[in-house]
Amino acid sequence: MIFILFIIFLVGFFLSWNLITNKKWSNIIGISFGLLIIISIGLMIGNYHNHLGMEKKTTTQTTSFTSVNDQANMLLYKKIGQTNNKVIIYKKNKQQKKPTVTPAVDTTNEIKQGGTSNQLVTKKQDWVYKNSFYKFFFMFAQKESFIKRTNTFHVKSGYMVFTPEQAKAFGQAMKQQAAQMKKSQQNPQAQQQTAASGKQFVTAKMQQAMAENPKMSQADQAKLQKKAMSDFKAQMQAKVQKQMEQKAMDQALRVK
């Protein structure tokens, strides 16, 4: 609209000096149109350089994300040059095949660990018109535009945050740890210790159950014993896995 008014004022200014024969009215109308031209130019400059009629609008969106690695809970990041900023590599859901990489231009990416769930909080700031009048008035002038974006990744406990190089080192270290663990489990002494721990675990579970239900049938006792042994194996496996991941993570974090 401002451009249309500018053209109208320009035409009016030209016609007032060339078609109006009365010099007094020609001067009055010509000066008036001249002032309107100056005002319209000032408004356009204010809109282009100072976003006249516009305001900053911030929108916040919260979404979930999952591990970029199918075998381990992991989030990747990569630093950009010598700056403190970085891009984050993640997956929006488990079905996603190709990971998502956050933008780097006009975008700040942050990672906060120790959360209860994986949440991506995106704050996006844009220049928008204050109301429909300004939007119509500056229709062909400044467009609504993007300013900046901040992505904050709230990572739940148990997730590892690596660079791609560290993730590669972690994978190699896990293979080494698995080989060492397999070798140690074949040791007769280690097998005896595991068997003794398993027997102790099952006995404690059975004693507790029998104290609560002294009349438990032989069949139920057999089922409970089987379940207790299964629980012991699951706990041992989880414990071993955690130890392996911790050792592999310590090795990976040494990679810069």
pLDDT in tens, 189-235: 777 888 888 888 888 888 888 888 888 888 888 888 888 888 888 88
Residue from 67, 70, 40, 43 nearest 54 by CA: 43
Concatenate the DSSP letters of all residues of 102-157 into one string: ---TTEEEEEEEEESS-EEEEEEEEEEESSHHHHHHTTTSPPPEEEEEEEEEEEET
What is the pLDDT, as a whole number, of residue 224? 87
* 75 in Cβ contact with 160 (< 8 Å): yes
State residue 203's pLDDT score.
87
Report pLDDT digits (tens) over 88-135. 999 999 899 899 999 988 999 999 998 889 999 999 999 999 998 888
